Structure 1
Amino acid sequence: MPMHARRVLAYLSLHKMVEQDCDRQVLAERLWIDAPPDRSRASLRTAIWRIRSAAYGLLDGDSERVALADSVRVDVHEFRRQAEQMLADTTDYESPGLVPHLRSPADLLPGWDEDWLLLTREQLRLLRLHALEHTARRMCERGLYAQTIDVILSVVDEEPLRESAQGILIKAHLCAGNPADAIRQYDRFRSNLWKELGLRPSPDLCRLISPRSKRTATLSNR
């Protein structure tokens, strides 16, 4: 499909996470912000025609409203469902089984420079990080320290200044009986945080690295 049709299809796919359908006039104004109203509506009609010509059944709607058909599966919808499932405090599923689907960071529509994409792109990025952190925290509570470290390292690697992730990683090292690793991780984070932002770790994170932990780490390195 041509780019103008792909933009309409992408917008409707993301919009469906918020509302079932979309007003045609609003859609035209959002996608063709610099065009006069008559021209933007004409461009939208052409785009919808091209979408329906390319694949029957992608869109539903009438002369006033348009929507992605309910039968269409969207990968972003599945991504969001899995992240929300990982965040749910239920006992009828094993959240680690969902982790591989969210381990690798992936930009939403990479290469697209659209204002209407910015908010959704950031929402999905943060949702993914929260889901991985929540799962790692639950693993740590269950004593799965090696698995906790494996999961949370993907968050720390992507966002090295994210203190909530650093706290989970440091705590997992301590619970696993590796205070030296915890101290090294804390010192690395503290140095980077000061260098990049001129900030110091929070008191809560500092308390994780108690003098007792430091003494243990020193003894273990001898």
Structure 2
Amino acid sequence: MRTLSGCDLRLHLLGDWLLVAGPGAPEEVELPAGPKHLIALLALNGRCARTQAAATLWPDCPDEVAAARLRAVLWRLRHRHAGVPPLLEIGDASLALTDDVAVDVHRFEASAELLIHDPGEREVPDDEAAAAVLDSSELLPGWYDDWVLAARERLRYLRLSALDALADRRRTQRRSHEALQAARAAISVEPLHESAHRTIVRTHLENGDIVEAVQHYEKFRAMLERELGFPPSELFRELVHPYLAGVTARRIARTR
């Protein structure tokens, strides 16, 4: 068996599970379902007590059965996959990923937090963080474990918040195309996310595209009332109110 020890390790959980090793042209590391789930759990939750890991991965099993299954997974990683670089720190009471494993979720979280909390006054451009958030995929599609669903929803909300912050920052920087791109990405995650629709309308208004702004508002208003039965927020209504009458009057004039 070829040994991959000493190689860079990169774990991808955004999208399908993928572990690659090696610089340059990396090689995929193939593992069975049990080790994959354990590695994903530790990547998402950090250091974990062995009892907690076993109970989380096999919640319907008695404690002793879950503990035995965890021992089997660890044995498999140590012996059947001896050519795989060390992935875990295995202690008597706890488990963790080694520091050698770079996890895409961690990079995404750091990028999202930077966009949300940084005032945008740094000398270092935030384009790399923006790309990480814009290009992010859903966490482990097709996995329906409770701990995955909880993490997926947490990352979904974090991405929405980061896209909101990015769209607003790009709008204030007069980078209108990028502001609209970020807002539309947020809408693709949650079609009824009002703040993203509001950013689109505000950007169109600031660019003098009043008809585009009003049309977008009216489409959102109709969708919101159809899906949830209530109108946009007062803040959104006040934003477009000065322009609604003029656009409506022009439409009436064209029909005469």
TM-score (norm 1): 0.90
Confirm or deny that 1:71 pairs with 2:100: yes
Output the CA distance in 2 between the equivalents of 1:185 and 1:27. Answer: 47
Q: Which amino acid aligns with 2:167?
A: A
Output the CA distance in 2 between the equivalents of 1:212 and 1:7. Answer: 54
Confirm or deny that 1:10 pairs with 2:29: no
Q: Deviations over 1:159-218 (max 9, x none)?
A: 221111111111000001101000000000000000011011111000111234642685
Which residue of structure 1 aligns with residue 169 of structure 2?
138
Q: Which runs of 5+ in 2 are unaligned?
A: 1-30
Q: Is the 8 A contact 2:156 2:189 kept in 1?
A: no
Of 29, 36, 50 in structure 2, the residue corresponding to residue 24 of structure 1 is: 50
Output the CA distance in 2 between the equivalents of 1:6 and 1:210. Answer: 53
Pairwise CA RMSD: 2.0
1:150 CA drift (Å): 2.5
Q: Which has the higher contact order (CA 8 A, sep 6+)?
A: 2
Structure 1 stretch displaced more, 149-158 or 167-176: 149-158
1:143 CA drift (Å): 2.3
Q: Deviations over 1:107-152 (max 9, x none)?
A: 2111111011111111111111111110111121222223212321
Which residue of structure 1 aligns with residue 70 of structure 2?
44
Q: Name the SS for the 2:96 alignment partner.
A: strand
Distance 1:41 1:216, change over 3 A: same
Q: Quick check: which one's helix share is greater?
A: 1
Q: Deviations over 1:32-54 (max 9, x none)?
A: 11222222111101111222342
Q: Which amino acid aligns with 1:56?
A: P
Output the CA distance in 2 between the equivalents of 1:63 and 1:103. Answer: 40
Q: Is the 8 A contact 2:221 2:232 kept in 1?
A: yes
Q: Which runs of 5+ in 1 are unaligned?
A: none
Output the CA distance in 2 between the equivalents of 1:138 and 1:217. Answer: 31
Q: Is the 8 A contact 2:35 2:77 kept in 1?
A: yes
Output the CA distance in 1 between the equivalents of 2:249 and 2:182. Answer: 27
**Percent identical:** 33
Listed as ranges, the matches of 1:152-163 within 5 Å are: 152-163=183-194
Output the CA distance in 2 between the equivalents of 1:82 and 1:51. Answer: 31
Of 187, 193, 200 in structure 1, the residue corresponding to residue 224 of structure 2 is: 193
Q: Is the 8 A contact 1:183 1:217 kept in 2?
A: no
Listed as ranges, the matches of 1:87-102 within 5 Å are: 87=116, 88-92=118-122, 93-102=124-133
Aligned residues: 218
Output the CA distance in 2 between the equivalents of 1:218 and 1:98. Answer: 44
1:158 CA drift (Å): 3.4
Which residue of structure 2 aligns with residue 106 of structure 1?
137
1:57 CA drift (Å): 1.4
Which residue of structure 2 aligns with residue 57 of structure 1?
86
1:219 CA drift (Å): 5.2
TM-score (norm 2): 0.78
Distance 1:52 1:73, change over 3 A: farther
